Structure 1
Amino acid sequence: MIKLQHFGSLVVLDEEYTILALSEFAAEKAAGAINTLLGTNFFESFGTVFGDAIKKIANTLSELRENGQSRHILPIKVFRERVYFKFKIHKNRFYIEWEQQHKKYISARKINEFNFLLDTIQPNNWDRVCLAINKLLNYDRVFVLQVQETGYSEVIAEHTADGKPYFKGKEFSREFMPKEAMDYYSGYSYRYVPNIRKNDQHFVYKEDSIDTLSSLLCPLPHLHRLFLEKIHVQSALFFRICIDDEFWGLVIAQHAEEKVVDLQQRKLCTFAIQAATNKYESHIKQNLLERTELLNIAEVELKKSLSENKMVNCALVQHMDTLTQLVNADGLSIFNQGDVFSHGYTPPKPLFYKIIQFLQQHSDKALFKDYNFSLNHQHHFKEKLNFAGLMYLKVGLENDYYLVWFRQATQSRVMQIKPNRSRLQHPDHLELWEDVRHDVAKPWNDAEINFVLRLNQIIKESIFRKLKERQLLNEELLSLNNELEMFTYTLSHDLKNPLSILKMGIQFLQQHSDNIDFSKTNKWYQNFSRSVSNIEDIINNIVQLSQNRASVLNKEPLPMAYTLQRIFQENKILYDATECQSHFGQLLPIWGEKSAVYQIFTNLIVNAIKYSGQSEKPTIKIESTNQDDMTYYCIQDNGIGIPQEHLPHIYEMFTRADNVGGIPGTGIGLSLVKRVMERLGGTIEIESKVGLGTTVHLYFPIVAPFPEHMLND
């Protein structure tokens, strides 16, 4: 048997209007024994009691069934008094609940005063909300209780009749708002207790599936009832607050004496709190947009620094102030292979080294956070920790590079609430005391953690990019060394003959200057002139070859199958695109320069992976054919696509379409691809449609027939 509150009656029917459950007061109205009414037809058992009103009730039930509505309220005059009937359909059951109407209407003066207060409520002014609600209710106090991520509940606003704060600034311990309590308050827009001391009524039922949690008559959670009794509260109202469809907290009204609040007043309070919640939610979203904009600006600056600096650490040190602010930390220390750089409020360097040693030994996570770090781990350190909260990001796989953020301790007063389960003879005994929490920092929220995760991705991309750049630089350096070796060989070999002629002629003239005739002398001078001309030609050819390297690349036949698959797999891992699938068709060889071709396809495949990441089934197709004297490649994705008005500008430096959102990029890749294609003597064409994807067409000139083994590969 279950008990319900005393201020109303409840009957539960099946689809055939058979009574499956009813409360004690409902049975009394029907003038029948509560058990004998179970299983009877509702209209037969209550038809006489409700009189003419039974037709309105029947029509309402039919409308609910036909229109698919879940709730309806109907004021009816019955039992020679005005009554609110509340109808609800839940799991194919009809819940009929009724209570007395205490007021016909709320005065116009009261409504105007209430509306004025509502209009003046700012998006984040919950104190004003409490004042407006209490103008309507006239309770001893009204306060807003926000459930924190830590499980503690903080009173962030309050209005009291005597002007004294009772709970504002205090927190309630985790035990005060367990999951079952949040489920209770989430199930209805408000909960109402006119008098906690009045005896509850019995509720009997035939089926265990009957859910009383969706009824206003469902009593408070036992712990909250004990708490109200402990602080001498008789009447209470609880209005839920949901942000983004998640339970956020409560507006709570408390009164020391019995207080009857009419349904109209309760509903009006509900609408007011919902309006204030909508303002607050819009305020949060606006702040989120502003923060996102700040993050985007910070990311651009950070990426720029990472690209300009040879070392990642140099860029991070330059932006320590920004990295500290964006996670709302009091300080940041960077540990890099024994070197320490600190900004803001951080531990002394000797203590910081010990903290790093502790983290290296006790955690292998890439991201670690603990707002109670000092409280939980002080016993591991001889020195007093001068902070409360800690969050670190480990860069790379080795334990030699950390970004560690610190938060100072805050002090808070906590209402500790625990039922004393050891006193079996007093099951309703409640222990209640106020405590002060030290060595605890404000928890790291989702937005701050997401920024750190994004920072980790930016650093990973920068490191990977620098490794690739270093690899390409090494390849280019090797190519330059080969060219230098060739130039050296040319100079030593091709200049040897003309220089030998010059040397031999000079020696001959020196030895026979007295007896040589004019014709022979003239012949030698002609030889000297030709030798000098040959030396000039050789030097000019070498200079010209060196200059042409900037615009024309040396080409060789390159097999592409393994290279393209490797590029896709590497960047699929880098961009965490586990859902992205590839379809490779025939992959023909290309006449080109290895590093240039690698650069072209890396840029295009990375774009395809990034901009198809939001698709339901991201897919990239790559295939090729021979077209006359060209090798044609096609790269196709099913990503977000490029708007038509942006297509003429896609090769311009630092230009990006306006539909990329938060997808990272610099607007340089396609410009580089086009330039490299032109150096190879090829062309690029791009087709795209928003929402359908992008297709890239590449045409590489065939310089000469490919080796047979490449075509069979």
Structure 2
Amino acid sequence: MDNPHFLNCDQEPIHLCGHVQNFGCLIVFDKFHNCIGWSENCQEIGFPRECLHNGLHLSTFISNLNLSHPIDLDRVLLDNVEIFKHRYVSDIHLQNGTYYLSIYPFDDKIFIEIEKHQSQSHQFKNIYHYAQHINNGKDIWKALADNIYTVTGYDRVMIYKFSKNGDGKVIAEHVSEGLEPLLGYHYPEFDIPQQARLLYTKIFARVTPDVDAKPIPVLGINPEMLDLSMTGIRAMSPIHLQYLRNAQVRASGSFSIIINGKLWGLVACQNTIPKTIDLAQRHLSVFIVQYAVNSFLANKQIAENNFKLKIKSIEFEIRQSLFSKQDLHGVIGSLSPRLMDILRADGIAFKYHNKWHITGSTPHLNSIQAIENSLITNNANELFWQSDFKWPDNDIKDLSHFSGIAKIDLEYKLDFKIYFFREEVKIEEIWAGQPKKEFIYDPNKPINFPSPRTSFEAWKRTVCGTAPKWTEWEIDFLKKLSIILQEACVKKITEIQALNEKLVEINNILETFSYTLSHDLKNPLAALQMTAQMIRDRPGLSQEFLGKAGKNMMEAIQLMNNMLDKTVDFARTKSYDFEYEPVYPERFIQNIIDDCKVRYNIGKLQFQKGKTLPIDGEKTLIYQLFLNLLGNAIKYSSNKGTPIIGVDSVDYGNTIVYKVWDNGIGISAEETERIFEIFHRLPNAIQFDGSGVGLSIVKRIVERLNAKITVESTLNEGTTFNIHFPKKNKDLKSTLPTNPY
């Protein structure tokens, strides 16, 4: 428990200060729109004292402003909730010039801030330039510092990143000529206390135009009743102001860098003389900061994707090698350089069946045994990683410079363990003054409070015994590697027969996959070919036709992409996971028929279209299902004088039943049991091109959708397929009759 006679920085209620800075004024209304508070300097801006009083209604106050564009208060105050959501800004003209009026709801109150225009309009016409500077810069944060310097004109703009332990480091800077650079300097955690960090996550811009300016009290309401957390002109803590004076700073500004909802860092700005940054400049700066954050996240995502591709490749190779070989020692040994590259390790040591293999820079084997004994003594888990490992025996000289260790220990399962080593990196840290908190006594209040630091002279320290930290990506890879080794080796050792059966199944699935792609991509490819030929062979086509043709080609390409993606997942897994959604077959049935008519060169086709009710399922799978059924119907009736196909559907409460029929060659009773077998061709279908894959695809799709399919056919007269699609929002089982048609 804190000593009651000490007041820490993080205990100072800076949001309940009851004062504002002198570059703006504040008027506060309650939830009933009655005035309850105003800053003492309102009269200087142009509001007579008699115009502000308790009970003044907000609408009356707004009407007295003689705005050229009226404010819709109902809309502005719609977000009147505890968390700040919206700030409405408008220009107003008072007797002393042009001002910004900001109005926003917060804490069951309505706040109005008014401050004078200061900025030049040209700054806001260069947004494209600011974006390009960030996009083209080698260092996003340096480009951000340059941009904020251009917008604000502060002498120094620093990008300040917080570490996990709370302190911070200047990672980029733009500094005016003649000032000493602070790039790389560290600052202790207590320089920015926790309650200040919390406010930075709520309001993203804070400025202090003059540290020596007298704060303006808010009248009409007790300070402890007025939460100024969201007030842009809120007065600064006296401790913070003295801190700035001690740093020889007369004006400052801060812009929050928020990443994934957390305070990642600050754009910290300083000026050696007083300087005012107005509301428009602050808003532009916040926008530029957010653009830089988005660019940073995009680059991070690209790097993460590249890392994932790299580990996917080695995961596949490990699985493939371990399934085809029994020598785990040889597999890991051959992949050691790539594992070192992925995990940025200086060396690897692994043991399998009491045989060690070492690659790169590692401790000696007797030293590694000392590590093992230490980890066993401390009950370390199967997975272990640390960047500042403390060695168990200081007398072992070769251990001290290996501070980074990661371990996978599967000795009790596979008689296997592997260590990754990183060498120590000695870092010389430069701090802006020695990070030491001192307290001074206030005789007027029986408390000790923290003294603002008076020294910012460079203070250096050398950090030893640490290696580069293991990142989240690397730790995830360690976990995956452990799982891969266990799965592959356990299956290899204990389930040889099951694995052989699995390999046969995988080969069959891959074979089915290749035939599926070959079979189902023919229709969209035929459509693409036909459209391309028309464009090539018919000069002078209209723009309208070309636009329609281009749209059709793009839709065919998108369809092929979707089919490729879904067929890959469909073919390589026993359980194809997807979210059910309403699918409307009517949208693509006619396209399928049109494409098949071209593919099979059918001039006359009679299509009997009934109801096409929506289905619960996955649209790409259902498209492939109808593609195969309708394609077969058209193909096997194409030798008729008048080919006839039809589609209809009926809602039976718990299920939707579709019927697809044709007047084609039909199927004999002996063959109906085998039509869904892969590569099985009907005896009477030899005259038609085909591979015997289409109906096997239909069967597998139906199973994935938890549907049912039946067939009725008469040789030489035609065939009817009935597909029963369950409604996913029904718990009852289907009670369909045997033949709903």
**Length-normalised TM-score, structure 2:** 0.59
What's the CA shift string for 1:101-136, capped at 9, x where partnerless? Answer: 22463379x949965973774364322332232233
What secondary structure is seen at the aligned counterpart in 2 of 1:53?
coil
Superposed displacement of residue 20, structure 1: 4.3
SS of equivalent to 1:214? coil
- Aligned equivalent of 1:134, options 149, 152, 170: 149
**Preserved CA contact (<8 Å) 1:146 1:155:** yes
Deviation at residue 308 of structure 1 after TM alignment: 2.2
Deviations 1:210-258 (A, max 9, x none): 5322221235577755543332112111122233444322222211221
Residue 464 of structure 1 corresponds to 490
Q: For 1:392 and 1:115, locate their aligned partners in 2 and report how far apart those are by CA, in whole Å.
A: 46
| Per-residue deviation, 1:16 | 1.6
Equivalent position SS for 1:59: coil
**Structure 2: distance between partners of 1:454 and 1:246:** 28
Question: Alpha carbons of 1:295 and 1:425: their partners in 2 closer, same or farther (altered >3 Å)?
Answer: closer
What CA distance in whole angstroms lies between the structure 2 residues aligned with 1:420 and 1:613?
Answer: 60
**For 1:443, which of 448, 463, 469 is the aligned residue?**
469
Letter in 2 for 1:170: Y
Provide the residue aligned with 2:404 in structure 1: 389
Cα deviation digits, residues 366-410 of structure 1 (max 9, x gap): 333322224xx5776654511232232333656964332233324
Partners of 1:394 and 1:203 in 2: CA distance: 65
Whether the 8 Å CA contact 1:117–1:132 is kept in 2: the answer is: no
Quote the residue 1:407 is aligned against: 422
Alignment of 1:146-165 (within 5 A): 146-162=161-177
Partner SS, residue 301 of structure 2: helix
> How far did 1:643 drift?
7.8
RMSD: 4.6
Q: Select the residue among 253, 256, 267 that pairs with 1:237.
A: 253
SS of match in other structure, 1:184 = helix
Cα distance in structure 1, aligned partners of 2:618 and 2:377:
43
Question: Is 1:372 the equivalent of 2:397?
Answer: no
Aligned to 1:62: 74
Larger displacement relative to structure 2 (411-420 or 19-28):
19-28
Query: Larger RCO: Structure 1 or Structure 2 (Cα < 8 Å, ≥ 6 residues apart)?
Result: 2
- What displacement does 1:322 show? 1.6
2 CA distance for matches of 1:350 and 1:386?
Answer: 16
Question: What are the residue-to-residue correspondences of 1:308-457 with 2, within 5 Å?
Answer: 308-336=324-352, 338-374=354-390, 383=397, 384-395=399-410, 401-408=416-423, 409-415=425-431, 416-421=434-439, 427-430=450-453, 434-436=459-461, 437-457=463-483
Alignment match, 2:159: 144
Structure 2 equivalent of residue 90 of structure 1: 106
Return the match for 2:199 from 143, 163, 184. 184
Shift of 1:343: 2.6
What is the alpha-carbon distance in structure 2 between the residues aligned to residue 312 and residue 402 of structure 1?
11
1:296 Cα offset (Å): 1.4
CA spacing shift, 1:379–1:410, aligned 2, 3 Å: same
Alignment of 1:518-597 (within 5 A): none
Moved more, 66-75 or 685-694: 685-694
Contact 2:40 2:217 in 1 (8 A): yes
CA distance in 2, matches of 1:11, 1:457: 62
After superposition, the C-alpha distances for 1:529-568 in whole angstroms (9 at most, x for unaligned) are: xxxxxxxxxxxxxxxxxxxxxxxxxxxxxxxxxxxxxxxx
Give per-residue Cα distances to partners, 1:290-340, cap 9 Å, x unaligned: 222222112111211221221434322221222222122333322446543
Give the C-alpha shift of residue 137 in structure 1: 2.6
- SS for the counterpart of 1:158 is strand
Give the letter aligned to residue 367 of structure 1.
Answer: L
Equivalent residue letter for 1:388: S
Q: Find the aligned partners of 1:236 and 1:330 in 2 and give their Cα distance.
A: 44
Shift of 1:447: 1.4
Q: Aligned to 1:106, what secondary structure does the other structure show?
A: helix
Instruction: Tell me the CA shift for residue 89 of structure 1.
Output: 2.2
Q: Which amino acid aligns with 1:430?
A: R
CA contact (8 A) 1:236 1:252 kept: yes
**Contact 2:370/2:392 (<8 A) preserved:** no
Any residues of structure 2 matched to 1:629-668 within 5 Å, and which?
none
SS of residue matched to 1:356: helix
Contact 1:641 1:690 in 2 (8 A): no
Residue pair 1:152, 1:174 contacting (<8 A) in 2 also:
yes
Q: Which runs of 5+ in 1 are unaligned?
A: 476-603, 617-636, 650-673, 676-682, 698-713
Instruction: Give the C-alpha shift of residue 73 in structure 1.
Output: 0.7
Distance, in Å, in 2 between the alignment partners of 1:113 and 1:464 is: 58
Residue 585 of structure 1 corresponds to which residue in structure 2? none
C-alpha separation between the residues in 2 aligned to 1:313 and 1:221? 64
The answer as to 2:324 corresponding to 1:303 is no
Of 304, 310, 314, the match for 1:288: 304
1:86 Cα shift?
0.9
SS of the residue 1:442 aligns to: coil
Quickly say closer, same or farther: Cα 1:351–1:19, change in 2 above 3 A: farther
Equivalent position amino acid for 2:285 in 1: C
What is the aligned length? Answer: 513
The within-5 A match list for 1:468-547 is 468-470=494-496
Residue by residue over 1:625-668, the C-alpha shift from the partner in whole angstroms, topping out at 9 and shown as x without a partner, is: xxxxxxxxxxxx9999968659999xxxxxxxxxxxxxxxxxxx
Change (3 A) 1:273 1:312: same
CA drift of 1:76 comes to 0.6
In 2, are the aligned partners of 1:74 and 1:85 still within 8 Å (CA)?
yes
CA-CA distance at 1:689 after TM superposition: 5.7
Secondary structure (helix, strand or coil) at the match of 2:439 reads coil
Deviation for aligned residue 1:462: 1.0
Could you tell me which of 109, 115, 121 is aligned with 1:99?
A: 115
Distance 1:298 1:284, change over 3 A: same
8 Å CA contact 2:246–2:454 kept in 1: the answer is no
SS at match of 2:464: strand
The 1:420/1:38 distance shift into structure 2, 3 A limit, reads farther
**Equivalent position to 2:33, from 5, 14, 17:** 17
CA gap of 1:608–1:105, structure 2 versus 1, over 3 A, is same
Matched position secondary structure for 1:199: coil
Match of 2:182 in 1: 167
Q: TM-score when scaled to structure 1? A: 0.61
Cα distance change of structure 1 residues 644 and 106 upon mapping to structure 2, 3 Å threshold = closer
- Code of the aligned partner of 1:435: K
Asked if structure 2 preserves the Cα contact closer than 8 Å seen for 1:688 and 1:695, the reply is: no
CA shift, 1:352, in A, is: 1.8
Unaligned runs of 5+ in 2: 1-15, 442-446, 502-569, 582-615, 629-676, 679-694, 710-741
Distance of aligned partners of 1:443 and 1:435 in 2 relative to their CA distance in 1, 3 Å threshold: same
User: 1:40 & 1:248 partners in 2: Cα distance?
Assistant: 42
Q: For the residues of structure 2 that align with 1:309 and 1:190, how far apart are their CA atoms? A: 61
Q: How far does the alpha carbon of each residue in 1:25-56 deviate from its partner, in whole angstroms, 9 at most, with x for none?
A: 3487766599x945654456xx4xx7741667
Q: Which residue of 1 aligns with 2:208?
A: 193
